[in-house]
Structure 1
Amino acid sequence: MKTAVDLNFSPSNFYLPALLLGQLLVAAKASAISPEQVRTKITTISPDTVLTKTRELSVTEDRIDNVEVKSEGQPFDAVVTQSGELTSVQEDIGQPWIVGFGVKYDSGIYKDQSSGIKPIPLISAEIGNFWMQGLTFGYYAYQSNLLQVSPLLQISPGQGYDQESIENNSRLYDGLEDRKLAVDAGFQLDYNLSWVDISSTLLTDVSNSHSGLSAELRLGRDFNLSDTVILAPSISAHYHSSDFNQYYYGVDEEFGTAFRPAYDVGAGVEYSVGVTTIWQFTRSWSVMGQVSHTILNGAVEDSPLVDKGQETSLILGIGYAF
């Protein structure tokens, strides 16, 4: 299940009621039992009904749980209070398609390279077990109440320095080629607790661009400030192998010059903190803003190509769900 941080910035829409299923959920929740006991109770009453996810929402002072189940193979979604009061039980038609447009500003880390503002697509979709977030494509190979496992493919254009962004007639990048588009493949594990969402990703280059490895561990949580506003803070750590760092920040021996000495970066870890805000101002339209700050590894900061060891990014966008 993707989160707001991944640009899923519109709630799903549900239509057909399922009253019998609602009665089962109310009976289970009224007992104030754990999600595992809810699952056992529901499957005892209706063996074909499977509890697939329980999600705590902080909408009011009273705790509210969003519960996803399957009955006779059909997915349903319900919102139930801690006291067992049923607020909605409806057929889950799945994740809506979201298509939008945004702009991204990066403060930049490279010497003599302009930062500027770039347009970016905002795309989110789920079709069965397949999902897409921007230029990342995945498949839910395993799903449970707490854990989702997805093999994925990620396309990363526009990383690194390029000749068109050179400022002040700098010769720092003479003889160096623009960094190529990278395509990475790997796995993502999402572990959802009531108080935090934990996501870990492992990727390797399959396009022969940087030929390196990357790994990420992220902690985040979505706060529903109202029926239409979501706030999603997160912190993360990113590991990059020596091949990755050398491709984007290093200077190979053959390209070393008097003003650009050869430099071997090595592997390292960088850290990020960010927050995303989403406002759904109509049934279909939402706007979002995201700000993040990254602290680079010290060895990256010491590269002759790098100007500073910190970078701030800002994204503003609008999306339409259908």
Structure 2
Amino acid sequence: VPVRAVFDVNDGFSHRGWTFEPRLSHTAWTGPSFALVFSASALFGDRTLNHLYYGVDAPYATADRPAYDAKAGLIATRLNASLRHRINSTLRLQYFAQVETVRGAANEDSPLVRSRQDAGLGVSLIWGAWHSAESGAE
């Protein structure tokens, strides 16, 4: 279960909050060097992090952007499909599609939310610099 500390590299690596993202994954198909994986996750953030993205402090409020005090809780729900290809023992290629929504999220009503859902496609190349001499279950 991924728990992450968030730091701001533009502000001396200051701590900005925490996220927690439980995920369910299902490997639908595997081949000699391929795997098709589907997953669903829910991303949660503490109040500090959510305020960074969704909060509007009173000095920055305008007629079109009222003050908003962000709450801790659900940030977004995500659905993901990925095709993973193992090129060799240290290199993997992944193609993925993701849909994300903030419907039902703790800060869905923030004046900074412009869109309730989003979709994306991507490609990643993953290089494992180190690995154990004995391979485990994949």
Corresponding residue to 1:310 among 92, 117, 125? 117
Structure 2: how far apart are the matches of 1:286 and 1:214? 26
Structure 2: how far apart are the matches of 1:321 and 1:245? 32
Which residue pairs with 1:268 in the alignment?
73
Which residue pairs with 1:288 in the alignment?
94
Q: Kindly indicate whether structure 1 or structure 2 has the higher relative contact order, using CA contacts under 8 Å at least 6 residues apart.
A: 2
Which blocks of at least 5 consecutive residues in structure 1 are unaligned? Answer: 1-199
Question: Does 2:35 align with 1:230?
Answer: yes
Corresponding residue to 2:4 among 199, 203, 207? 203
Q: 3-state DSSP class of the match of 2:14?
A: coil
Q: How big is the shift at 1:317?
A: 3.5
Structure 2: how far apart are the matches of 1:203 and 1:319? 20
State the AA in 2 paired with 1:295: T
Which blocks of at least 5 consecutive residues in structure 2 are unaligned? Answer: 8-12, 130-138
Larger Rg: 1
Corresponding residue to 2:55 among 232, 245, 250? 250
Taking a change above 3 Å as real, the CA distance of residues 214 and 279 of structure 1, as seen in their structure-2 partners, is closer
> Which deviations, in whole Å up to 9, do the C-alpha atoms of 1:225-269 show, x marking residues without a partner?
311221111111221112111111111112112222111121221
Which residue pairs with 2:46 in the alignment?
241
Structure 2: how far apart are the matches of 1:233 and 1:245? 27
Structure 2: how far apart are the matches of 1:259 and 1:272? 29
Taking a change above 3 Å as real, the CA distance of residues 320 and 260 of structure 1, as seen in their structure-2 partners, is closer
Q: How big is the shift at 1:219?
A: 1.4
Taking a change above 3 Å as real, the CA distance of residues 232 and 205 of structure 1, as seen in their structure-2 partners, is same
Q: How big is the shift at 1:286?
A: 4.9
Calculate the TM-score normalised by the size of structure 2.
0.71
Calculate the TM-score normalised by the size of structure 1.
0.33
Taking a change above 3 Å as real, the CA distance of residues 283 and 267 of structure 1, as seen in their structure-2 partners, is closer
State the AA in 2 paired with 1:257: T
Taking a change above 3 Å as real, the CA distance of residues 286 and 302 of structure 1, as seen in their structure-2 partners, is same
Number of aligned positions between the proteins: 121
Structure 2: how far apart are the matches of 1:311 and 1:251? 22
Structure 2: how far apart are the matches of 1:319 and 1:234? 19
Q: How big is the shift at 1:287?
A: 3.5
Taking a change above 3 Å as real, the CA distance of residues 256 and 209 of structure 1, as seen in their structure-2 partners, is farther
Q: 3-state DSSP class of the match of 1:246?
A: helix
> Which deviations, in whole Å up to 9, do the C-alpha atoms of 1:281-319 show, x marking residues without a partner?
x54765321111122144433222211121222212445
Q: 3-state DSSP class of the match of 1:301?
A: coil
Structure 2: how far apart are the matches of 1:302 and 1:201? 26
Taking a change above 3 Å as real, the CA distance of residues 317 and 217 of structure 1, as seen in their structure-2 partners, is closer
CA contact (8 A) 2:4 2:18 kept: yes
Which residue pairs with 2:21 in the alignment?
216
Q: What CA RMSD, in Å, does the superposition of the two structures yield over aligned residues?
A: 2.6
